[in-house]
Chains A and B, each alone.
Chain A
């Protein structure tokens, strides 16, 4: 799902925990001290149960990908296969186009991420700092554009991509994904949070607009750039509908489209669960890695960015 940030500087929510009022005031009446302890225990149990519900499906996913087909059908609950087999992975990597899908996903994701960072930086800076004619119109247009639901654009994007002649090519897959209003807003908010004095200083020293941008502002924008990198990596890696309408050549299939076809199309004649789950598992790994490394940043960025 897409996240649409409005206007909010990236704030590390954890660091802004409100001051403990209880430090300054006397503790409330006695009975209330006992209650938190008892409720705390219940809360803990509830949280653990919920966490199990959230984690269990992924454990099943991994476990099943190492089972044989009959065992997967007969014994879906067990998290440890009776006979470990990597047959599903073998088939996936040796007997199918899976490596090709993986490569396509990587190519597209890398290109889109670079492109987005570049364009969003420029556009965000322009909206935040530069005064140019028509700025407010562009700003309003960006907001309007974010209101258009993505799915409504399925058919029309196909028509436009075709008309422009970039259908069924990497161009058609990458270029439309390059601009996202959300990223522009994140950048804009970030630049607005940088004190103007820094740039004023540069201007007084005689630096032009571009120079100011390049050597002063850009190095300071690493945190926001990281955020865009993460969000666009996640967004383009998990994108499906755009790839359905912009390509038809099997050589351009990405992971999402390939696994969707594996699951739903004629290629899936037969319920080969270990195979499909192995594909789903591998497809999730890169995003999972990025997620675990940048957890804190991702979670703060999402929270800060989507608030109104």
Chain B
């Protein structure tokens, strides 16, 4: 009997030692690969973004010099084409983000609510139909979209059926807000807006809205991502306590009131996830631009991600390209933080009022 504790102690440390080695062995491949292809690239890009590497030879060779923030200042304040392109890309992507994220969130929530109804027949079919576009490759969908939205394509033919003359979607560089202003009679920009500029783009151009071409991309984004988010909302809806809904119904709340005051607040975590994922995804749009328009028409579908790629690979300005990448990184983090601040749970009275799990004996207040 006295042997047992000794044996156990020995075995424990033995196991620990072996576990340590095994643990590191198991985790090593993932760590190495992630380190090599995620951590190391970031470090290398950081170096390239503050250097004048021209694109030949190693960036660590003697011919590459440290130039400090020259690349960053060329993009942010240089007054030249680099700054204007960055400003244009930011503007384009900004409109893309603020239109796509709310649209896809609202649409996916709507789809989830519709599909989630218990008495629905064929729910599986609808779920599949709405989720399928999310499974396809962005390249395939972009090619399809280019066809659907061509000058005499499906969309314009459908619009013609209701008497609307559709634009030449992917070739039309006019901003939506500008078109709206034009229809209201404002065809020349007011002097104040046209004269001043930010990041090389005049304020009038900042207020141009997404171009018609970008709008086609926005529709495509909503089409392909609403399915994924719909699933998230469905899962969340199904986890809602049925009792709470019943309690609200007994209290005389209508369907709409139930939705607004019971369901929606309880979907807050999922809403938060969907919006965060949406923000991160929309700020990085690249595949669709590369396959579809490469920034055209008139640079209205240029995005920072594509600009970063193009500056490096097409113009051979690797330092600037890397700098744009890091600026994009900063923008994404900034938006994610802002979003977190806006949507965070407030630990004040409303929360206590809103979510009060019913005590086990029944009764709801």
A-to-B contact residues, CB < 8 Å: 1, 3-4, 11, 13-14, 16-22, 25, 28, 32, 35-36, 39-40, 43-44, 46-47, 50-51, 54-55, 57-58, 60-61, 64, 72-74, 76-77, 119-120, 122-123, 125-127, 130-135, 138, 141-142, 145, 147-157, 159-161, 163-164, 175-176, 178-179, 181, 184, 203, 208-210, 234, 237-238, 240-241, 244-245, 255-256, 259-260, 262-264, 271, 273, 276-277, 279-281, 283-284, 287-288, 291-292, 295, 298-300, 302-304, 306-308
Contact = CB atoms under 8 A, between A and B. Distances in A.
Contact of A263 (B42, B45, B111, B143): B143
Given A151-B284, A152-B325, A154-B309, A130 B19 contact: yes
B194 interface: no
Contact of B239 (A16, A122, A147): A16
B126 A47 contact: yes
Interface string B143-176: 1111110101110011000000000000000000
B318 interface: yes
A303 B31 CA distance: 27
14 contacts: A28-B250, A51-B130, A76-B153, A123-B31, A155-B313, A159-B44, A160-B44, A163-B44, A175-B37, A179-B29, A179-B33, A237-B137, A260-B139, A304-B235
A255 B21 CA distance: 41
Nearest to A74: B152
Contacts of A119: 29-30, 33
Contacts, number: 330
B19 A287 contact: no
Contact of A306 (B25, B48, B273): B273
A1 B328 contact: no
A135, A152, A175: residue with the most chain B Cβ atoms closer than 10 Å: A152
Interface of B: 15-16, 18-27, 29-31, 33-34, 36-42, 44-45, 48, 58-59, 111, 114-115, 117-120, 124-148, 150, 152-154, 157-158, 223-225, 228, 231-232, 234-236, 238-243, 245-246, 249-250, 255, 269-270, 272-273, 277, 280-281, 283-284, 286-287, 290-292, 294, 305, 308-309, 312-313, 318, 321-322, 325-326, 328-329, 332-333
B137 A60 contact: no
B130 A50 contact: yes
B205 to A, nearest CB: 25
Given A179-B29, A303-B231, A208 B242 contact: no
A302 B228 contact: yes
A46 B126 CA distance: 11
A283 B38 contact: no
A153 B38 contact: yes
B137 A18 contact: no
Given A40-B120, A132-B19, A295-B128, 15 more contacts: A13-B238, A51-B129, A54-B129, A135-B23, A145-B39, A154-B325, A155-B322, A157-B37, A159-B44, A238-B136, A260-B290, A276-B147, A298-B135, A302-B228, A307-B269
B23 A148 contact: no
A22 B137 CA distance: 43
Given A51-B126, A151-B328, A308-B272, A57 B148 contact: yes
Given A123-B26, A287-B137, A302-B228, A153 B18 contact: no
Contacts of B145: 57
Contact of B18 (A72, A163, A209): A209
B127 A307 contact: no
Contacts of B142: 263
B147 A291 contact: no
Contact of B135 (A234, A263, A281, A300): A234
Nearest to A130: B23
Nearest to B336: A147
Contacts of A138: 27, 31
B27 A153 contact: no
Nearest to B276: A308
A19 B115 CA distance: 18
B242 A20 contact: yes
B154 A156 contact: no
A264 B16 contact: no
A123 B241 CA distance: 36
Given A240-B138, A299-B131, A1 B281 contact: yes
Given A160-B37, A179-B33, A260-B291, A131 B286 contact: no
Q: Among B15, B31, B147, B284, which residue has the most Cβ atoms of chain A within 10 A?
A: B147
A264 B291 contact: yes
B59 A240 contact: no
A201 to B, nearest CB: 15
Nearest to B125: A51
B114 A43 contact: yes
A302 B45 contact: no
Nearest to B273: A308
